[in-house]
């Protein structure tokens, strides 16, 4: 669909829906605040889908419209900026800047990749390394930027084996996107999901609980995807050839030392990062909120005596646009819940649907949503409030439904423009990389398998970890 056709279609849908909602006799039982909320929600969603206007600008406009019309208060709108999840993400980016400055990523890559002796070992060791980065760098775009130099170094070492380079180019963004579900800070969509659950149901999903539920899924889906990438982009002859990558080869293409004794800055950074992650994971024991732990870590990471990065330099890496987007969409979620709009939207769903069927529909829709809503955070902003509201009508645990939707929405590999990491690794001048047909071939197999895997975890694994399917 061309941009003009897409914009025209979105505009027609938006105007039609708004016209229907503007007639008081339509949709009896729908209150005034709920009507206004749905009008704003429809306009924002259609703008996200059909226009090139910045997602954050649209979200801020929607939040402002809801405030001016009195659906939510100004305290609600501005209060979302002070939410602890926003502070958690800010501080996590400061910590990530400290890690990036020291060059620890290159050392970690050498430690893992240099041990590979076969192509399959290289693929799965790289996958394991990328999964681990979810604990150190927030948001998928940040992890892609951190991993890009490592990939370019590997691409130069393997320059005489073009198919392997193309395979690695596809492997990096694929694993980065699917492994984000491992941690709460893995994507802004996760923080939106947690906020929606808290605002609408009062149920809190902390860093530790998310880690317990998300990490096994991240590991399973990442290694499954790695195997599929290997099989769909290489031939048998490519996979059977030996691989031997030495630290010296990677060092020739790296600006920072990847071997030798660690510097004092690197040692301090490793200790600080290990301490912060340990405190995050042990939250039930000490009861210190993850955002406060992250703030303490960020202050130390940027301190003149112990830090490895200046605070003003670290703050430049924070995606302020994403934070404003999160805050505005949190306000939209509050409006959907408090006005009764979300409850009305799902009131027409057929009663009696089994939890398995409901979750299967939620996961299928969430998996396919990237084809119309390219922003992962926007997908969660639209889907999660509706999923949480609908889950009550069929007796499904809203936590299980929201997590399943968010995890499934992590699949966004179909087109080069579907996600920032996919776009980044598709545009590498002078380096062989994948074509759109490679993405389509992978997605045709990976989409149904990842959806089935999320459903399996939701109905068979998560109940063993304390999140039941039914309420």
Position 263 scores a pLDDT of 76
Name the residue with higher pLDDT: 224 or 317. Answer: 224
Residue 219's H or E segment, with its range, is helix 207-233
In sequence order, what are the beta bridge partners of 118? 242
Check residue 137 and report its DSSP letter: S
CB 411, CB 451: distance < 8 Å = yes
- What is the C-alpha radius of gyration for the chain, rounded to an integer number of angstroms? 23
d(CA 153, CA 347): 54
Angle (CA) 179 184 207, round 5°: 130
Q: What is the mean pLDDT of the chain?
A: 83
| Percent of the residues in the chain that have a pLDDT greater than 70, as a whole number | 93
Q: Evaluate if residue 301 carries a pLDDT over 80.
A: yes
310-313: long-range contacts at Cβ-Cβ below 8 A with a sequence spacing of 24 or more? 311/94, 313/97
- Model confidence at 313, pLDDT cuts 50, 70, 90, reads confident
CA atoms lying within 13 Å on the CB side of residue 208: 15
- Model confidence at 1, pLDDT cuts 50, 70, 90, reads very low
Position 463 scores a pLDDT of 93
Q: Between the CA of residue 368 and those of 78, 137, 413, what are the distances in Å?
A: 32, 26, 10
| Digit-coded pLDDT (tens) for 92-114 | 888 888 877 776 766 776 776 77
Neighbour count for residue 51 (Cβ, 10 Å): 15
Contacts of 312 (CB under 8 A, 6+ apart): none
Among 177-191, 247-261, 301-315, 433-447, which is the least confidently predicted range?
247-261
Helix (H, G, I), strand (E, B) or coil at 187: coil
Position 327 scores a pLDDT of 85
What is the dihedral sign for C-alpha 382, 388, 394, 397? positive
Q: Evaluate if residue 2 carries a pLDDT over 60.
A: no
Position 459 scores a pLDDT of 92
| Digit-coded pLDDT (tens) for 317-366 | 888 887 888 888 888 888 887 888 877 777 656 556 688 888 998 999 89
| Digit-coded pLDDT (tens) for 258-293 | 676 777 877 888 888 888 888 888 877 888 888 898
Q: What is the pTM of this model?
A: 0.83
Name the residue with higher pLDDT: 262 or 457. Answer: 457
- Model confidence at 80, pLDDT cuts 50, 70, 90, reads confident
Position 403 scores a pLDDT of 94
Position 6 scores a pLDDT of 66
Q: What is the mean pLDDT of residues 245-258?
A: 69
User: Ranked by mean pLDDT, which of 221-225, 289-293, 339-343, 466-470 comes out on top?
Assistant: 221-225
Among 206-215, 288-297, 368-377, 449-458, which is the least confidently predicted range?
368-377
Name the residue with higher pLDDT: 30 or 195. Answer: 195
């Amino acid at each position: 669909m061309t941009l003009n056709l897409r914009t025209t279609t979105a505009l027609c849908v938006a105007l039609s829906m708004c016209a229907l909602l503007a007639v008081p006799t339509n949709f009896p039982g729908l209150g005034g605040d709920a009507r206004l909320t749905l009008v704003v929600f429809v306009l924002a969603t259609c703008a996200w889908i059909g226009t090139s206007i910045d997602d954050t600008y649209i979200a801020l406009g929607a939040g402002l419209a809801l405030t001016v019309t009195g659906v939510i208060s100004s305290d609600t709108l501005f209060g979302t900026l002070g939410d602890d999840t926003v502070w958690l993400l800010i501080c996590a980016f400061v910590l990530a800047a400290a890690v990036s400055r020291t060059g620890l990523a290159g050392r970690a890559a050498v430690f893992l990749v240099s041990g590979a002796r076969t192509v399959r070992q290289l693929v799965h060791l790289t996958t394991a390394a990328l999964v681990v980065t979810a604990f150190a760098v927030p948001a998928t775009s940040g992890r892609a930027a951190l991993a890009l130099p490592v990939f370019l170094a590997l691409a130069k070492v393997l320059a005489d084996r073009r198919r392997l380079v193309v395979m690695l180019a596809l492997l990096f963004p694929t694993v980065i996107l699917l492994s984000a579900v491992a941690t709460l800070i893995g994507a802004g969509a996760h923080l939106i999901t947690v906020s929606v659950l808290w605002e609408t149901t009062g149920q809190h999903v902390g860093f530790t609980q998310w880690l317990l539920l998300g990490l096994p899924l991240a590991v399973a889906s990442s290694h499954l995807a790695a195997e599929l990438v290997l099989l769909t982009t290489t031939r048998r002859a490519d996979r059977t050839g030996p691989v031997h990558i030495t630290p010296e080869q990677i060092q020739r293409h790296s600006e920072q030392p990847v071997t030798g004794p660690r510097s004092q800055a690197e040692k301090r950074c490793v200790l600080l990062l290990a301490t912060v992650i340990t405190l995050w994971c042990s939250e039930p024991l000490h009861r210190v909120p993850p955002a406060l732990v992250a703030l303490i870590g960020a202050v130390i990471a940027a301190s003149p005596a112990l830090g490895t990065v200046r605070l003003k330099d670290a703050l430049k890496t924070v995606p302020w646009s994403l934070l404003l987007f999160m805050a505005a969409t949190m306000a939209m979620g509050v409006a959907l819940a408090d006005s009764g709009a979300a409850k009305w939207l799902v009131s027409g769903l057929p009663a009696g649907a089994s939890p398995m069927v409901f979750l299967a529909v939620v996961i299928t829709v969430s998996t396919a949503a990237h084809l119309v809503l390219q922003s992962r955070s926007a997908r969660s902003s639209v889907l999660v409030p509706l999923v949480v509201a609908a889950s009550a009508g069929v007796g499904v645990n809203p936590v299980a439904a929201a997590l399943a939707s968010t995890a499934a929405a992590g699949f966004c590999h179909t087109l080069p423009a579907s996600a920032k990491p996919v776009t980044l690794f598709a545009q590498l001048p002078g380096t062989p990389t994948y074509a759109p047909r490679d993405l389509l071939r992978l997605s045709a197999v990976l989409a149904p398998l990842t959806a089935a895997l999320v459903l399996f975890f939701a109905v068979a694994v998560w109940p063993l970890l304390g999140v039941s399917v039914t309420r």
